Amino acid sequence: MARHGGGRSWYGKLAGAALGVTVLAVGASVWTAQADVVGGPSPQASASAAPGGDVEPVSADIAHASDQGPRGVNITIDDGPDPAWTPQVLDLLREHGVKATFCVTGTQAQAHPDLVKEVVAAGHRLCDHSVSHDTAMDRKSEAYQSREILDAERMITEASGGVRPLYYRAPGGAFTPYSRTLAASRGMRPLGWNVDTKDFERPGADAIVATVERELPNGPTLLFHDAGGDRSQTVEALRRVLPRLKEQGYSFGFPVR
């Protein structure tokens, strides 16, 4: 896996990183009681919550596998929500009966809370994709990483009406042992990917589909985008990919937690 646009390998760097990072004691000014309110119609709301508004920590290892097993596929959608493209992606997912994981940024969630609520109402899961999508987060201070992760968690939870994100995906894969441990302490499993469709570069729908078919043996988690510019190629590629994967006997699920 590589960073979006940067091409710099990060998975190998993380594989040897020590996990013995002190978990940040959340509860200071970065996190508010309002973000601990859980509600809404989705079962996701209670999935990461414990009695008293606490969250259940999860593994800090980066997730790739699908909860649907060896023939499972995880559709993940990054950088939104976007008023032009997210509704089209939601329509396609609904048409084919597919659930996906939406990795949303804090700024976009705050700007379009109605779309975040639509994502949740349709049964999809939320993922914290930081506040500002800074792909150099791993070179910034721990205080900065904390603000990006926890402020985004709060913004997304507020926009959704109380449904917390269940995962954390670092922008461009810029994970650190600290950021993974912090996210996991908040019940957000660090989320990687196996197939980078390169749709962000707009190579054409044919190329996006070909990348999925070529790289799916690498693993089940597919990376698409619903924001950051013209995503018409992504929409067209999903229109082809979703029924094709079904025909090949794949089941659509969520990343393991």
Residue 104, SS3? strand
- Catalytic: which of 78, 82, 138, 199? 78
Say if CB 220 and CB 64 are below 8 A apart. yes
* Tokens found for residue 32: 């508010």
Residue recorded with tokens 């969250």: 55
> Could you give the angle at the alpha carbon of 81 between the alpha carbons of 119 and 70, nearest 5°?
60
* Residue 82 buriedness (CB in 10 A; 0-12 / 13-18 / 19+): buried
96 is catalytic: no
Say if CB 120 and CB 104 are below 8 A apart. no
- Catalytic: which of 4, 129, 133, 225? 225
**Which distant-in-sequence residues (6+ apart) come within 8 Å of 155 by Cβ?**
106, 107, 109, 110, 131
Residue 3: how many CB atoms within 10 A of its CB? 18
* Tokens found for residue 168: 């954390």
Q: Determine the Cα–Cα distance for residues 209 and 141; give it in Å rounded to an integer.
A: 38
Say if CB 220 and CB 67 are below 8 A apart. no
* Tokens found for residue 157: 């939870």
**What is the end-to-end Cα distance of the chain in Å, rounded?**
20
225 is catalytic: yes
> If we measure between CA atoms, which residue out of 101, 103, 77 comes closest to residue 170?
103
Catalytic residues: 78, 225
